[in-house]
Amino acid sequence: MDKSLYQPVMWLVLGALIVGLMVVNGWLAWFQRKAMTEACLKDACAQQLRFLKSARFLLWAFIGVLFLGGIASWYTAEYTARKETAAKRKNLWPVYDPAKIWEAPDLFLAQSDDNAKLILYGRQLISNTQDYFGPEGIVRPHSINGLNCQSCHLDAGAKAFGNNYFAVSSTYPLMRARSGTLETIPKRVNDCFERSLNGSALDTTSREMQAIIAYIQFLGTGVPKGAKPKGSGLVEVKPLDRPADPAKGAALYTGKCASCHGSDGQGVAMPDGSGNHYPPLWGARSYNQAAGLFRLSRFAGYIKANMPFGATFENPQLSDEECWDLAAFVNSQPRPEHPFLAADWPKIEKKPYDHPFGPFADSFPEQQHKFGPFEPIIAFQKNLK
């Protein structure tokens, strides 16, 4: 018999035997009452009583054997399944190699984890953030813009050089110059909610925060503490020897990006009929000026390995110049203002070369910090150190 059918059939038979036992007990009680109330029937009922008692004994015996057999079968099946799962997990467990491009752990490791429900819920929150926090959100509606977490962190944060989460668990808590503090993973998550999603922070004790943390930690499975695997984050695109040109970027956008993100940058409906839209790249529904992608180097690196659709770090579709110009165009469009200017970068000498808001520790203007050329600023910052 098919293993998947054995247990249900066995319990069905056991149920039938129990029903039979109840019937036998009913008849036995009836005959016993008759024999006690009508003495003349005592001898006549004796044969039936013996038969029913024998039947009851046999039914109890069958029930006992089946019940014990069922328990043994369940234990054996459970033990075998656990053993097979453990062997499969061991075979799939990532082996860290700093020379190789890191890949996300096999999803089976999440599905078979003791914390599976929380991890998989976290994955859902990253993939379909709008379903939980968007206009019709089931957790906290109207609390973010028009993006999902994976609009910036591709493939639910699992794509090589797709702004992934591979190094988060291994490197946090992390001292970050932007805040000037030792940041935890919840702080980093809430940065995304307040900046890239232009919304409000999550309660750090909420199930949603715990699920996102569990999923991020799952993506770091096998990465040693302190290590940053190859392929994490974004690719580095060599700075141009000229300012990035929004006008050139506009022409590129029309030819390479508008088919998905719309001529107005607000995203068009996906062709799968899901009702989802490609991410809005500017305007009130996009990331604000405090987001990491508002830095030109970050956005150029994001484009290089991931855009247009189908591009990878191995097979980019745009040149470095095109990536810088396209990033310049998109980040020149209107978007929500920076809400943390007074708090970010408490040590101004720590500001990245392409942070576009002063004051600066150098004499280069904001325009150059936004569009470049960046090499003179980079050289100055190296000497400053």
Amino acid identity, residue 373?
P
Helix (H, G, I), strand (E, B) or coil at 181: strand
Answer yes or no: is 231 within a domain: no
76 shares a domain with 126: no
269 secondary structure, DSSP code: B
User: What does the pLDDT read at residue 5?
Assistant: 61
Q: Is the pLDDT of residue 3 over 60?
A: no
pLDDT classification of 67: cutoffs 50, 70, 90: confident
Distance of CA 339 to the CA centre of its chain: 27
Residue owning tokens 């990253």: 126
Residue where a domain terminates, one of 69, 92, 115: 92
Same domain, 83 and 182: no
Q: Give per-residue burial for 38-62: e unless 16+ CB within 10 Å, then b.
A: eeeeeeebeebbeebeebbeebeeb
* Vertex 354: Cα angle to 350 and 355 (nearest 5): 60
Task: Looking at 93-101, list the stretches that DSSP marks H as alpha helix, in order from N- to C-terminal side.
Answer: none
Residue 57 to residue 21: CA distance in whole angstroms: 9
Residues 360 and 250 in one domain: yes
Instruction: Find how far residue 81's CA is from the centre of its chain.
Output: 26
**Given this model, what pLDDT does residue 35 score?**
64
Name the more confident of 177 and 53: 177
Would you say residue 50 has pLDDT above 80? no
Q: Which segments within the chain are labelled E, that is strand?
A: 174-176, 181-183
Neighbouring residues of 115: CB distance < 8 A, sequence distance ≥ 6: 214
238 domain residue, yes or no: no
The verdict on 174 and 254 lying in the same domain is no
pLDDT in tens, 217-237: 999 999 999 999 999 999 999
Does residue 180 sit within a domain?
yes
Q: Which among 258, 248, 255, 254 is positioned nearest to 325, based on CA atoms?
A: 248
What is the Cα–Cα distance from 304 to 233, expressed in whole angstroms? Answer: 13
Task: Examine residue 102 and state whether it is found in any structural domain, yes or no.
Answer: no
Average of pLDDT values for 4-29?
A: 72
Is residue 239 in some structural domain? no
**Percent of the chain residues past pLDDT 90, beyond the cut:** 75
Which residue has 């992608």 as its token pair?
Answer: 293
Amino acid at 146: G
Residue 155 sits in a domain whose CATH number is 1.10.760.10
State the Cα–Cα distance between residues 261 and 153, nearest whole angstrom.
17
Domain count of the fold of the chain = 3
Is 237 part of a structural domain of the chain?
no
Mean pLDDT on 49-69: 75
Smallest CA-to-CA distance from 103 within 170, 151, 162 is with 162
Is residue 197 a part of any domain in this protein?
A: yes
CA distance 127 to 110: 15
Buried b (16+ CB within 10 A) or exposed e, 213-231: bbbbbbbbbbbeeebebeb
What pLDDT does residue 169 have? 97
Measured in whole angstroms, the distance separating CA 295 from the mean position of its chain's CA atoms is: 25
Separation of CA 190 from chain center: 15
Nearest alpha-carbon partner for 126 in 105, 166, 161, 153: 153
What is d(CA 140, CA 129) in angstroms, rounded to the nearest whole number? 11
The rounded distance, in Å, linking the Cα atoms of 43 and 20 is 25
- Look up residue 216 and give its amino acid: I
| Domain end among 201, 219, 237 | 219
pLDDT for position 2: 53
At 326, phi and psi to the nearest 5? -65, -45
Q: How do residues 231-255 score in pLDDT, each as one tens digit?
A: 999 999 999 999 999 999 999 999 9
Q: What pLDDT is attached to residue 48?
A: 67
- The answer to whether residue 1 scores a pLDDT higher than 60 is no
Confidence class of residue 34 from pLDDT cuts 50, 70 and 90? low
Q: 213 and 162 share a domain?
A: yes
Q: Report CA torsion sign: 37, 38, 39, 45.
A: negative
- What pLDDT, in 10s, does the model give residues 308-332? 999 999 999 999 999 999 999 999 9
State the residue range of the domain holding 142.
107-219
Higher pLDDT, 10 or 232: 232
Write down the pTM of the prediction: 0.83
